[in-house]
Amino acid sequence: MLETFIIPLLQIAVLLNAVLVAVTFMVLMERKVMAWAQARLGPMRVGPHGILQAIVDPIKLILKEDITPVAADKWVFTVAPIMSLVPALVVFSVVPFGPDPLYYVADINVGLLFIVAVTSIGVYGIILGGWSSNSKYPLLASLRASAQLISYEIAVTMTLVSVILTSGTLSLVGIVEAQREAGVWFGFIQPVAFVLVFIGGLAETNRVPFDLPEAETELTGGFHTEYSGMRFALFFLAEYANIIVISAIVAIMFLGGWMRPFPNVEALAFLDLIPPWIWLIGKIFLFLYVFIWIRATLPRYRYDQLMRLGWKVLIPIAIGNLVITGIVKVLV
């Protein structure tokens, strides 16, 4: 009873709350980092240096009027944000924050496959949201989004396969353990895959320079133009939760997950004093920072350029990487 229900439920409760709080603080972090990059201060009014902005923002969104357009397909319009958020949160169940079963909700032997499958459900939320709004801009944006997510999904999945070949397991815990046995992070063994998954991650989470589905300056707001209040907030949460998921996956697969740097160097053993979950969260935040940094620096791709990059550059490289990994695996 305790083992099967109560502990997992507690874990889920802690995890969900942690993720949602992390999202609100990530929004604050994004605003602050962007502000520093752009020679301004960012939010400063609520709390010291605007820290409480992270709490005020969600409160504002909850209190806002919730508008459903008359012409919208009401049922689908309501379901779409939920369909977008739920998969983004479910994925966290297989993210291991440490070696101990206490640190993860589930360690399933097809963990990576589970993540790929569940995150692709999220795109339905975007398509349905754009379509059910019955408005032209969201429709265009959701068409863009679906094409973009599907194309980059292929590149990312192809790349993940080469990592699976290296690790020999689909379980995320197993992948980290494989890195411990290899004595080196997979980021050093598979640098091409590392870069590809990161770029694909940018595209799958609709971040700059691939933020076409929500290109404010082109499509006024993208697929969520007609959404307001908490429903908009659900899309927003989903987007940022996805960013955290992608960062976590990249950290686990290429930067050794919860392990300290250079796990095979004995001289650095004192770093083990820091608990594993802090290492993983630190690595996740490193990627979040890079995501924001990229947003502050780069312009946006155009739709056709984006598709060209996905199909003509990333996918061939991913396949090439897979083939080379396979050959090396057979020879060594």
Site for another protein, rule CB under 8 A: 34, 37-40, 136-137, 140, 144, 208-209, 211-212, 215-220, 295-305
Tell me how far, at minimum, the Cβ of 201 lies from another protein, in Å: 18
Nearer to another protein, 73 or 218 (CB): 218
Contact status, residue 292 vs residue 243, Cβ threshold 8 Å: no
Nearer to another protein, 153 or 211 (CB): 211
Q: What share of the chain is helix, strand, coil (3-state, %, to 5)?
A: 75, 0, 25
Tell me how far, at minimum, the Cβ of 288 lies from another protein, in Å: 17
Q: CA–CA separation, 242 vs 258, rounded Å?
A: 19
Contact status, residue 129 vs residue 81, Cβ threshold 8 Å: yes
Those residues whose C-beta lies under 8 Å from the C-beta of residue 296, and which sit 6 or more positions away, are: 33, 34, 37, 38
> What does 186-251 look like in DSSP terms, one character per residue?
HHHH-HHHHHHHHHHHHHHTT-TTS-GGG-HHHHTTGGGTT--HHHHHHHHHHHHHHHHHHHHHHH
User: Both ends of the chain: CA-CA distance in Å?
Assistant: 47
Tell me how far, at minimum, the Cβ of 225 lies from another protein, in Å: 11
Nearer to another protein, 104 or 210 (CB): 210
Tell me how far, at minimum, the Cβ of 199 lies from another protein, in Å: 13
Nearer to another protein, 207 or 283 (CB): 207
Nearer to another protein, 8 or 221 (CB): 221
Q: Which token pair is 197?
A: 């998954």
Tell me how far, at minimum, the Cβ of 332 lies from another protein, in Å: 36
Nearer to another protein, 30 or 204 (CB): 30
Tell me how far, at minimum, the Cβ of 85 lies from another protein, in Å: 26
Which letter does DSSP use for residue 275 in this model? -
Nearer to another protein, 181 or 216 (CB): 216
- CA distances from residue 328 to 48, 163, 165, 238 in whole angstroms, order as listed: 54, 13, 10, 38
- Length of the chain counted residue by residue: 332
Tell me how far, at minimum, the Cβ of 307 lies from another protein, in Å: 11
CA dihedral (312, 313, 314, 315) in degrees, to 10, reads 40
Instruction: For residue 15, count other CB atoms closer than 10 A to its CB.
Output: 17
